[in-house]
Amino acid sequence: MSYPDIPSRSFADWRQVLHGFWPGKPKFTEKDYPSLEGKVVIVTGGNTGLGYETVKSLAGATRARIYIFSRNKEKTLDAIEKLKQEVASEYDVRKREIGFIQVDLSDLTTVKPAVEKFLAKEDRVDIIINNAGVMMPPQGAKAKQGYELQLGTNVLGHHLLQRLLDPLFIETSKTNPPGLSRIVWLSSTAHMLAPKGGVFWEDINFDKVPKFTTNVKSQLYGQSKAANLIQARTWSRKHGYPNVISSSICPGYLNTDLQRYATNMEKYIYKYVLYPQRFGAYTVLYAAFSPDVKDGDHSVSFGVPAKARKDLLSEEVGDKLWSWLDKETDPYV
């Protein structure tokens, strides 16, 4: 078995990579957010890192009903209490309620029960932020169903969650003005490291590559983020609801819990080149709210339009991935 074919980067690709190091200040911020009175927002992985900051901005600057979908109940309930205190301190908003739904996106059997629990609480969902993720875990790390952990969590887990939420999400979108109902898929500029066409179909889990080098590790992460970008572009084409905007983002080069598997040397370097996770929330909420974002767009830090790698843009690439994701998640619907 050989290594995956990684396309060379164009000038525009390199420009996007370098943008992450010097992104400038966010321009679309809390002053620009809608009130979202009576609306419902879901943030996966909202108990930590970028998701935590996204929930805090939502709770402080909007009146949406917010739900965190995450794995660890104790950690999330603690995070919610901390969020309430910080929202009161930073935004002068008190007694803010934030809901919690327990789900482990690395275990597909937990997704449907989580959605059923949510549906028992709410009769609408307006915005879904598919934020939770894993980055470059140790070699051999697997999701519950045997997929490579990043593929299983970042891609399949979110695909199934979105699939099960779609009926309510689509019905809600019919009652909303165009562009209010949105799906934000957390991709990354690391999608540039993905195999040609986004996915290494010959060996999707990278189990047979000759040697698991640092480059291969990055390519495996890049594959999951390319898949998220393709999901964002393909959702609307598969569903055909013009009121909905489905888009992807690279939130920025951020110092978050995603670096938990980095070496000590890498963590030392990251302190000097990465931005505080708070800034990434501005990218997320730019994609969630900005009138400048259109269906299928890709945005980068901290609220700037960008382009995906060209080989990821074809309908053929989207159809192949979508068909595989549907087939793999069919048993859990």
Give me the active site residues, please: 187, 221, 225
Token pair, residue 117, equals 């629990």
Contacts of 274 (CB under 8 A, 6+ apart): 253, 254, 255, 259
**Spatial separation of the C-alpha atoms in residues 93 and 205, rounded to whole Å:** 45
Instruction: Say if residues 67 and 99 touch (Cβ distance below 8 Å).
Output: yes
SS3 9: coil
**Spatial separation of the C-alpha atoms in residues 141 and 167, rounded to whole Å:** 33
**Spatial separation of the C-alpha atoms in residues 260 and 273, rounded to whole Å:** 16
The neighbouring-strand residues paired with 182 are 127, 245
Instruction: Say if residues 244 and 37 touch (Cβ distance below 8 Å).
Output: no
**Spatial separation of the C-alpha atoms in residues 125 and 119, rounded to whole Å:** 9
User: How many Cβ atoms from other residues are within 10 Å of residue 333's Cβ?
Assistant: 11
